[in-house]
Amino acid sequence: MRLALAQLDVEPAAVTANVDRALAAIDRAASRGADLVVLPEMFTVGYFAFESYAREAEPLAGETLTAVSEAAADAGVAVLAGSLVEDLEASDAAGFETPAAEGYANTAVFFDRDGERRAVYRKHHLFGYDSAEQDLLTPGDRLQTVSFDGFTVGVTTCYDLRFPELYRDLVDAGVTLTLVPSAWPYPRVEHWKLLPRTRAVENLMYVAAANGVGEFEEASLLGRSTVYDPWGTTLASADDDPALVTAEVSPETVAERRAEFPALADRR
């Protein structure tokens, strides 16, 4: 399977321009043979544009996710739209299960090649340090997995990388590939390089971390989107410019590594 991470330039509160870039990246990735495209965290409004969260929030059936679903179907490629500000009340009113009847969530959605919504992940761990995320959003409480091209795919978001127990839950759910849409800023470059690689090594799974780039008043996103294999080897990566990061991944590789080095069987 060919995996593509769309490292987008995310402008603060420039939703129309940001979404247009995301849709163009989906088409570009499909033209290069991608089977699955991953968009970064808050690719619509920009993670640090906190004052715009409420104004730009959308339900799951809103304009942006509808456009992404249609782009996936038109291109014949699966897409993780990861993520945007979800209006929980509007989603709930439309019949979608939400963690709360009101408020907002940091929500990623997996669309299959036909544009069908297959999974919804609401970020579990909301960032508090120098961030308004904990004050503005409601954390998610569910993990959904998706079967795709021989993989069992899981999703986590950015700050979730610092909580290894979440990834153990994914392993117990059979996950072999975890997608991590992110908005990771400078100066924590070494943390960004260490944490997804560690999650790959300790769980013997692929971890694909898709970050954005762009300047905000509070921070700058550091890019460096990377795909790690189950040994923690870097398969593909970028610097801090907009890029499309592609890598070939194989479910057989996960099975081989776990059989060759069965550390997960020694958990106590």
Please report, in tens digits, the pLDDT of each residue of the chain (268 residues total).
999 999 999 999 999 999 999 999 999 999 999 999 999 999 999 999 999 999 999 999 999 999 999 999 999 999 999 999 999 999 998 888 899 878 999 999 999 999 999 999 999 999 988 789 999 999 999 999 999 999 999 999 999 999 999 999 999 999 999 999 999 999 999 999 999 999 999 999 999 999 999 999 889 999 999 999 999 999 999 999 999 999 999 999 999 999 999 999 999 9
Catalytic residue from among 58, 123, 133, 193 = 123
Active site residue 252: no
Evaluate the omega torsion of the peptide bond into residue 83 and state whether it is cis, within 30 degrees of 0. Answer: yes
What is the sign of the dihedral through the CA atoms of 194, 199, 203 and 205?
negative
Closest CA to 252 of 151, 146, 170, 154: 151
Residues in the chain: 268
- The DSSP secondary-structure symbol of 6 reads E
Stated pTM of the model: 0.97
Domain with residue 23: its CATH number is: 3.60.110.10
Cα separation, 243 vs 144, in Å, equals 28
Catalytic residue from among 41, 56, 58, 133 = 41
Count the domains in the chain. Answer: 1
Residue written as token pair 């209006």: 87
What is the sign of the dihedral through the CA atoms of 130, 165, 230 and 5?
negative
- The structure tokens listed for 179 are 């997608």
Q: Are 204 and 263 in contact (CB under 8 A)?
A: yes
Active site residue 70: no
Cα separation, 31 vs 164, in Å, equals 35
Active site residue 123: yes
Q: Rounded to the nearest 5°, which phi and psi values hold at 9? A: -80, 110
Encode burial over 27-61: b for 16+ CB neighbours within 10 A, e otherwise: eebbeeebbbbbbbbbbbbbbbbbebbeebbbbbe
Instruction: Please give the residue range of the domain that contains residue 125.
Output: 2-266
